[in-house]
Amino acid sequence: MKILVVNPNTSPEMTADIGRAAKKYARGDTEVVTVCPSWGPRSIEGHFEEALAATATVETIAASRDDYDGFVVACYGDPGLAAAREVTQVPVVGIAEASMLMACTVAHTFSIVTVLPRIVPMLHDLVRTNGLEPRLASVRATPLSVLQIEEDPGRAEKEIVAAGRRAIEEDGAEAICLGCAGMGPLDKAVQRALGVPVFDGVAAAVKMLESLADYGVTTSKVAAYRDPEPKELVNCSPALQGAAR
Amino acid sequence: MKILVVNPNTSPEMTADIGRAAKKYARGDTEVVTVCPSWGPRSIEGHFEEALAATATVETIAASRDDYDGFVVACYGDPGLAAAREVTQVPVVGIAEASMLMACTVAHTFSIVTVLPRIVPMLHDLVRTNGLEPRLASVRATPLSVLQIEEDPGRAEKEIVAAGRRAIEEDGAEAICLGCAGMGPLDKAVQRALGVPVFDGVAAAVKMLESLADYGVTTSKVAAYRDPEPKELVNCSPALQGAAR
Amino acid sequence: MKILVVNPNTSPEMTADIGRAAKKYARGDTEVVTVCPSWGPRSIEGHFEEALAATATVETIAASRDDYDGFVVACYGDPGLAAAREVTQVPVVGIAEASMLMACTVAHTFSIVTVLPRIVPMLHDLVRTNGLEPRLASVRATPLSVLQIEEDPGRAEKEIVAAGRRAIEEDGAEAICLGCAGMGPLDKAVQRALGVPVFDGVAAAVKMLESLADYGVTTSKVAAYRDPEPKELVNCSPALQGAAR
Amino acid sequence: MKILVVNPNTSPEMTADIGRAAKKYARGDTEVVTVCPSWGPRSIEGHFEEALAATATVETIAASRDDYDGFVVACYGDPGLAAAREVTQVPVVGIAEASMLMACTVAHTFSIVTVLPRIVPMLHDLVRTNGLEPRLASVRATPLSVLQIEEDPGRAEKEIVAAGRRAIEEDGAEAICLGCAGMGPLDKAVQRALGVPVFDGVAAAVKMLESLADYGVTTSKVAAYRDPEPKELVNCSPALQGAAR
Amino acid sequence: MKILVVNPNTSPEMTADIGRAAKKYARGDTEVVTVCPSWGPRSIEGHFEEALAATATVETIAASRDDYDGFVVACYGDPGLAAAREVTQVPVVGIAEASMLMACTVAHTFSIVTVLPRIVPMLHDLVRTNGLEPRLASVRATPLSVLQIEEDPGRAEKEIVAAGRRAIEEDGAEAICLGCAGMGPLDKAVQRALGVPVFDGVAAAVKMLESLADYGVTTSKVAAYRDPEPKELVNCSPALQGAAR
Amino acid sequence: MKILVVNPNTSPEMTADIGRAAKKYARGDTEVVTVCPSWGPRSIEGHFEEALAATATVETIAASRDDYDGFVVACYGDPGLAAAREVTQVPVVGIAEASMLMACTVAHTFSIVTVLPRIVPMLHDLVRTNGLEPRLASVRATPLSVLQIEEDPGRAEKEIVAAGRRAIEEDGAEAICLGCAGMGPLDKAVQRALGVPVFDGVAAAVKMLESLADYGVTTSKVAAYRDPEPKELVNCSPALQGAAR
């Protein structure tokens, strides 16, 4: 199958990292292409940037909707995920949902370790929207910004391990979801350090797409994710226009 | 005080209607300006259109953030609400949240009567994100699209009253929130027909902004709604660029 | 409009304080009268006193039900609120519900800072009955009794700020609701000290009543808050007798 | 042991019926006295009457607090229950809580069959305050007022059985709690008709008090149910004054 | 009445202890027999042992189902409880559910103090399955294994009191449920030390069975606990075979 | 990888069916072996049979724990799942959890269509234990017993489609999980008839195991699923004895 991984953060370095993570765990017969939108925030650390990135991400997916067998939204707020499901017939998986759902099969409860403290309420909303609060032990912030992870992976690993350890010892977490796509490359190092399963959402989303493809199911189109109603989209890009055709 | 009401739907007729509703219930010393973004969907009836409208709405608010004492997001999905709170220091109120919160002061439980059935899961998510499920009796759809409300208000009123009646009789609703900004002009007619309090979110949001201004409180900036982190926004409009300055 | 603020605590000093707070934030054309019942506990710090105060409060409101356009129940347990809604056709707002609902428009989550620790479970029940647990960060007690607030406002402010700070830093609160009507006069001092929105329920309730009046809605009478069934009230005061006429 | 059953409804006939039910299931060595307050509503069918009855009930219990080993609050809203726990050292059990807790030992979920439809939201609040929503299948109203049950027990039985049958067949109920003390005498007839366990709260509360006495536990006094703080109760009866001594 | 208390742990000493606790609080006319299964784990400290014990317990109950008026499952995971309800017509009560339900009548919230930390997630699941999360303050582990309680009751008491104190002071617990049948003999000592109600589930379950018998109700057989469907049980013991006859 | 699928129902025909379903969707390099325990109920339609099957299943898995890279528990109550996770170091996935988690990636809400009505409360408990209630639209029973599905697949398909249609139209389901392993062979026929994604848990579990293996994660061993404590298992089979070695 052929998967497009869209990094909603417009950072080429981070996009390259995500691409490597996606390919590392993809099956031999899975082709993975990774891109970021042509516009939008370099990194996503709040609702404002997430709103922009959602539009940019759905535009990117709409433009390629006939060219892939599945899409990954590779930012841990799953920006534009529901919208993307409307504009394509093939499955779209978010890295946050994928990591959390997969964690449920190996752990009674999980924690999310993420970037700046301002992200914490956003992630609580995300978990709540996914209906998974009963499985959440905690959301733990680090002092890291998104782009600092890549700039200093050694420091990032230390901070993530420290936050993860507190989640295990104080909050009862049995698995850790890495709450930023940029943390993906550190997954196995953190797992070794903590001794519990650690999930990079990019890897989890790729595996989920492969599973959906093998099993022959795709997005339900009867209610929440119906195709957009045909209508005028004023001053919008051709890709967006096409999505509502 | 001076309020900007932003209709995320780019329909001039609907925007004019919303403007009239906002002015009708505003106090004499409240100045209300109503606009719609310069781009985006004519009407919002799904996640795709909501994603676009969120960006267009936050851009509109960011461009005017120094010119008003408060903002209303006038579409019943509150698109871009959290993002808008980040880009301005004055309060921003969504019509969905305002109608639901106000309904809680006069009714034990409320129902939302909205447009097409595909909206129902979106509104359940919205109520859930607002933490108000325990007060929700039901979400009831009508066969109406957003723009049909304005085209045939007589039919719209009939459909809304019918759905509202079922909500009261079968679901235990004690108040009705009109789940589309376009339904606002029908609020009092529906209230008379149903005999329970009926809330147009536009009116509710204007009143809430006046109350916040009188009391001297504005958006909390310590966590969820902090100002955006300074960063590069690639290929974004000056208004968006300015929001993250 | 004409509002009666009923302080369920029979303390004249506290009632005067509440009256000042109510008037301070009322609009110029809102007339505010503040009273306390002619019987009942000097202060309310438990279920026993709250039960008495509920009856005394509903009696007070019933006696004046034709004389006002709205009523405020000015004790942070909202004693007798639902009962009061049954005995009058005009809106009745409790200070706890008003502060919490208003806080939801400027903060992702809020904490309540209140008096003695014994109040904490009562407030958890109150938040639960209002269906707002998902928005609650925590309830934080102080060592203060109700009447000590007025006796030593300087100490009270210090204790409230200290508890509020812990709520923000440890519990993730983004706004503070002052969990006792007597704390109202300290709202702006606490807000300045904490840097987050702070809500006095008395002010919030007055604003909510003004909003309901402007919008022309009142209590739903179809189920929870129907007029009392006509029946004999044995050995009850004329005001109570009249309420069920 | 010696139990005082307080019927918050000031109806002598209903009080006599409740007394018979309480005695019927009490053990041989349990002495049961049944009274109603000297003032308050003849029957309780709303928040207003419940507020009055709460005060009258707690006054009645306070006046006898040194004379009994346990108290029952015998109205299915448990009016004044928490307050009563503060004013005595011996256990106080409400008939609603007792019936629901006991039902949990023989059924996966239960429904409450009660009087007028206006009671339904009150009972939902009650179940919620007791934290038992996950075990509740539904609340089903009948067209009966409280006093009509006694006036025409044959009709009452028919209505209760009809509502109970719908609860079992449509809502998945596996047991029925009779949501009015006046329905108690019909418990076994309804149980025979429906073929599921049926609970009269009066019987359940008496059994619970006997169990607490046998096991030697009484109300926790560390937080929610501490003795009232010593304070002035303005113009209150000697019994109430004494409760806060 | 005649009660069989089944200790799912196959430890004769613990079984004897449980028998003494059961008899201590049983009424004079209640005959109590206490047994453990003929096979299964010496002690239950995880899901694996609980699964085995569930089968052994239901087999034990099935073998005696015509000989008793009620059964107690005396291990704080209530292993096999729902299954046991299917194989007999008389009530079956688990010690976890009984202790929690009884605690609800004397405390606003309770904590469970239990054995090894690995038990904590199991007990959270159990509380959740019972629908009682809103009443739970916390689950607190001790470093004790099940069999160590009996080996060194003095140490056990100290550990339980220490954990209980933290539950009261830090988690807001108002009562303590002893989360292991082996802790039963320490109930009154712990209660004296902590000053809050303390519940041994064995005692609570015996009292609950006596109450159910007095009131004349037994397990609902319309849905969750219907008799087993007649079918072949391959290579199962005669007792199990008989249960599905 | 090498997977053992254990059918907790001791029906050879059903086991063969499950084996075919598992192989159909497994990857080419995944070896699937399917067995049923040597003892236990022919089919599982209640708590009693589930308890027996849990023990038989965990025994079967313990006996083979060194021979496979992953295990599937192939009955829609996931009997013995948590226990099995304790006795092996490789992942164990239940078909109920797998189908529900996978459904979350293509549908806003799902319903479970299952066998006899008596199963409904069991499945509600299961969804609740998995923390997925917010995603559940409903559980719909059919009049089918487990073994009737295989005896008359044509009738089974009709009943499943009818129940699924009601779930979609009346309950808002957007996907259907087949609530019995025996329904697996009908998945695609039902999907075609209903037009929404349909999930057989056996297929979903196999895909999940492959994903976990590819990603290199296995069961968390820090709390809920630690290895069993070493202890005596009285009169238990060698396989069970070995599990606690």
HSE (side-chain half, CA atoms, 13 Å) at D131: 24
Q: B236 at the A interface (CB within 8 A)?
A: yes
pLDDT score recorded for residue A245: 63
Q: Which residues are bridge partners to E93 per DSSP?
A: E72
Whether pLDDT at E245 is above 70: no
CATH of the domain at C195: 3.40.50.12500
Are residue E90 and residue E114 in the same domain, yes or no? no
Sequence-distant (6+) residues with CB within 8 A of B213 are B1, B69, B70, B91
Q: Which residues of D touch C8 (CB under 8 A)?
A: none
Please work out, in degrees rounded to the nearest 5, the angle formed at the alpha carbon of residue B183 by the alpha carbons of B178 and B187.
Answer: 70
> Over the stretch B161-196, which tens digit does the pLDDT of each residue have?
999 999 999 999 999 999 999 999 999 999 999 999
Cβ neighbours of residue B169 closer than 8 Å, sequence gap 6 or more = none
User: Is F104 strand, coil or helix?
Assistant: coil
Strands A40-41 and A92-94: unpaired
Distance (Å, rounded) from C-alpha E227 to C-alpha F48?
Answer: 9
pLDDT digits (tens, 9 = 90+) for E149-170: 999 999 999 999 999 999 999 9
CA distance B125 to chain F (A): 10
Q: How far is A13 from chain E (nearest CA, A)?
A: 41
Residue from E106, E108, E196 to probe the interface with C (highest C Cβ count within 10 Å) = E108
| 116-175 in chain B: CB under 8 A from chain D | 134, 172, 174
Q: How far apart are CA B208 and CA B217, in angstroms?
A: 11
F28, burial (CB in 10 Å: exposed 0-12, middle 13-18, buried 19+): exposed
Q: Min CA distance, C14 vs chain D (Å)?
A: 15
Instruction: From chain A, pick out residues whose CB is under 8 angstroms from the CB of C134.
Output: 128
Closest-CA distance of chain D to residue B172, Å:
8
Which pLDDT score, from 0 to 100, does residue A243 have? 85
> E235 CA to chain D: closest CA distance, Å?
30
* Residue A242 neighbours by CB distance under 10 Å: 16
D144-148, long-range: CB < 8 A, 24+ apart: D144/D115, D144/D116, D145/C229, D145/D43, D145/D45, D145/D115, D145/D116, D146/D9, D146/D11, D146/D14, D146/D43, D146/D44, D146/D45, D146/D115, D146/D180, D146/D182, D147/D11, D147/D14, D147/D42, D147/D43, D147/D182
ipTM over 0.85: yes
Q: Which residues pair with B139 in a beta bridge?
A: B112
Q: Which residues partner with F200 through β-bridges?
A: F178
The answer to whether the CB atoms of C172 and A120 lie below 8 A apart is: yes
The C-alpha of A225 sits at a distance from chain B's nearest C-alpha, in angstroms, of: 8
Rounded CA Rg of chain E: 17
Which chains pack against B, by 3+ Cβ pairs within 8 A? A, C, D, F
Q: Answer yes or no: do C43 and C101 share one domain.
A: no
Looking at residue B245, what is its pLDDT?
Answer: 63
What is the reported pTM?
0.98
Cβ contact, residue pair E240, F47, below 8 Å: no
C51: containing domain: 2-94+203-243
**CB within 8 A of A11, min separation 6: which ones?**
A36, A42, A43, A146, A147, A150
Report how far apart, in Å, the C-alpha atoms of D239 and of each of D39, D57, D92, D242, E190 are: 14, 11, 17, 5, 35
Cβ of E197 within 8 Å of Cβ of D219? The answer is yes
Phi (first) and psi of residue B5, to 5 degrees: -95, 120
User: Residues of chain F whose pLDDT is less than 50?
Assistant: none
Helices (H) and strands (E) counted in chain C, each on its own, are 10, 10
Query: pLDDT over 70 for what percent of chain E?
Result: 99
Q: What 8-state DSSP symbol labels residue A9?
A: S
Question: Among B113, B123, B176, which residue's Cα sits nearest to residue B149?
Answer: B113
In this structure, what is the dihedral angle of CA atoms A98, A99, A102, A105, given to the nearest 10 degrees? -150
Contacts of B174 in chain D (CB under 8 A): 121
Whether the Cβ atoms of residue C129 and residue D128 lie closer than 8 Å to each other: yes
Cβ contacts of residue C227 below 8 Å, gap of 6+?
C86, C87, C221
Q: Mean pLDDT across the stretch A29-43? A: 98
- Rounded to whole angstroms, the Cα distance separating B108 from C81 reads 12
Same domain, B217 and B236: yes
Query: What is the rounded CA–CA span in Å between residue B78 and residue E115?
Result: 48
Mean pLDDT of E88-107: 98
> Is C47 touching D (CB cutoff 8 A)?
yes
Per the document, the length of chain B is 245
**E107 to each of D4, D75, E103, E104, E120, how far by Cα in Å?**
20, 20, 6, 5, 21
User: What is the pairing mode between strands A2-6 and A31-35?
Assistant: parallel
Three-class SS of chain B:
CEEEEECCCCCHHHHHHHHHHHHHHCCCCCEEEEECCCCEECCCCCHHHHHHHHHHHHHHHHHCCCCCCEEEECCCCCCCHHHHHHHCCCCEEEHHHHHHHHHCCCCCCEEEECCCCCHHHHHHHHHHHCCCHHHEEEEECCCCCHHHHHHCHHHHHHHHHHHHHHHHHHHCCCEEEECCHHHHHHHHHHHHHHCCCEEEHHHHHHHHHHHHHHHCCCCCCCCCCCCCCCCCEECCCHHHHHHCC
CB < 8 Å from F in window 215-234 of A: 215-225
Residues F167 and F226 in one domain: no
Please state, in angstroms and rounded to a whole number, the distance separating the CA atoms of residues D30 and D72. Answer: 13
> Is the Cβ pair D48, C232 closer than 8 Å?
no
Q: Quick one: which of E12, E13, E89, E94 has its CA closest to E50?
A: E94
C9 touches chain D (CB under 8 A): no
Same domain, E40 and E101: no
Tell me if D57 sits within 8 A of D73, measured CB to CB.
yes
CB burial of E163-195 (b: ≥16 within 10 Å; e: otherwise) equals bbbebbeeebbbbbbbbbbbbbbbbebbbebbe
Instruction: Determine the distance from the C-alpha atom of residue F14 to the mean position of all C-alpha atoms in its chain, rounded to a whole number.
Output: 13
Between β-strands A70-73 and A2-6, what pairing exists: parallel, antiparallel or unpaired? parallel
- Indicate if E40 and E120 belong to the same structural domain: no
B233 with A40: Cβ contact below 8 A:
yes
Neighbouring-strand partners of residue B6: B35, B73
Assign E43 a pLDDT band (cuts: 50, 70, 90): very high
Percentage above 90 pLDDT, chain B? 98
- Partner-chain contact F108 B128, CB within 8 Å: no
For residue D122, what is the nearest residue in chain B, using CA coordinates? B108
Compute the Cα dihedral for C175, C179, C185, C186 and give only its sign.
Answer: negative
Phi and psi angles of residue C80, each rounded to the nearest 5 degrees, phi first: 80, 10
Q: Mean pLDDT over all residues of chain B?
A: 97
Residues F197 and F231 in one domain: no
Alpha-carbon dihedral angle through residues D23, D27, D31, D34, given to the nearest 10 degrees: -30
In total, the C-beta contacts within 8 angstroms joining chain D to chain F are 7
Output the pLDDT for position B243: 84
B190-210: average pLDDT: 98
- The CA distance from C83 to C79, in Å, is 9
Mean pLDDT of A7-34: 97
Indicate yes or no: CB of B174 within 8 angstroms of CB of C217. no
- DSSP secondary structure code for residue C78 in this structure: -
Residues F102 and F188 in one domain: yes
Please give the structure tokens belonging to residue F72. Answer: 């599937």
Torsion region of C208: left, alpha or beta (phi above 0 gives left; psi -120 to 50 gives alpha): alpha
Q: Environment class of residue C193 by beta-carbon count within 10 Å: exposed (0-12), middle (13-18) or buried (19+)? A: middle
CA distances in angstroms from B25 to A13, B77, B203, B213, E219, listed in the order given: 52, 22, 6, 16, 58
Using a CB-CB cut-off of 8 Å, the residues of chain D touching C228 are 45-46, 48-49
Contact criterion met (CB < 8 Å) for C104 and B222: no
- Report how many domains make up chain E: 2
pLDDT, mean over chain D: 97
What residues of chain C score a pLDDT lower than 50?
none
Q: What percent of chain B has pLDDT over 70?
A: 99
Q: Do A46 and B80 touch (CB under 8 A)?
A: no
Please indicate whether chains D and A are in contact, defined as at least 3 beta carbon pairs under 8 Å.
no
C-beta separation of B109 from B41 below 8 A:
no
In chain E, what residues touch A109 (CB-CB under 8 Å)?
121
Partner-chain contact B215 C107, CB within 8 Å: no
**F32 contacts F67 by C-beta, under 8 angstroms:** no
- pLDDT(D134) > 90: yes
d(CA F27, CA A27): 10
Query: Do residue A172 and residue E120 have CB atoms under 8 angstroms apart?
Result: yes
Count of C-beta atoms within a 10 Å radius of residue C230: 7
> Is residue D10 domain-shared with residue D41, that is, in the same domain?
yes
SS3 call for A195: coil
- With contacts defined as CB-CB under 8 Å, which chain C residues touch B172? 223
The count of C-alpha atoms lying within 13 angstroms of the C-alpha of B92, restricted to the half-sphere facing its C-beta, is: 27
Cα separation, C144 vs C182, in Å, equals 11
**How far, in Å, CA of D81 to CA of D8, rounded?**
11
Q: Are residues C51 and C7 in the same domain?
A: yes
D207 and D91, same structural domain? yes
* Angle CA F178–F179–F182, to nearest 5: 80
In tens, the pLDDT along B131-155 reads: 999 999 999 999 999 999 999 999 9
- Give the pLDDT of residue F66: 94
Could F108 and B121 be called an inter-chain contact, meaning their C-beta atoms sit closer than 8 Å? yes
The whole-angstrom separation of Cα C76 and Cα C114 is 9
Dist. CA C238–CA B143, nearest whole Å: 52
Closest CA to A2 of A63, A67, A57, A72: A67
Q: How far apart are CA B16 and CA B72, in angstroms?
A: 15
CB pairs D-E closer than 8 Å: 144
Q: How far is the C-alpha of B74 from the C-alpha of B19, rounded, in Å?
A: 10
Residues D80 and D150 in one domain: no
